[in-house]
Amino acid sequence: MITENQERADAFPRGSAEDLVFTDEHSSSDSIYANANFGLGGSESTASRTSRGGRGSQYQGMGVGESESSRSSERRHEAMAAVNGG
């Protein structure tokens, strides 16, 4: 029987509810890098360098790089309810 008076009812529902609001965050990062160097040198005097054809120090270098990152943020809402008949 449906009634507004709890004492005259055969059963009445009881329950609980929960409401959650939260932020879900995700992030990632990737990197790639390479580097190479080469060098030759000496400590010769000016006179001996001239007599050998003017050879001096030699240096080379190379560099490569890449980086990627991402971040996302999402606001979420979750609601739950449970009802028991008693």
Beta-bridge partners for 27? 71
Domain that residue 36 falls in: 6-85
Structure confidence by residue, pLDDT tens digits, 13-68: 778 899 999 999 999 999 998 999 888 887 655 555 555 555 678 889 999 999 99
What predicted TM-score, i.e. pTM, was given to this entire model?
0.36
Q: Does a structural domain hold residue 76?
A: yes
Assess if residue 1 is contained within a domain.
no
Q: Flag whether 21 is in a domain.
A: yes
What is the distance between the alpha carbons of residues 61 and 39, in angstroms, rounded to a whole number?
9
The pair phi, psi for residue 54, each rounded to 5°, is 75, 30
d(CA 69, CA 19): 33
Q: How many domains does the chain have?
A: 1
Higher per-residue confidence, 51 vs 79: 79
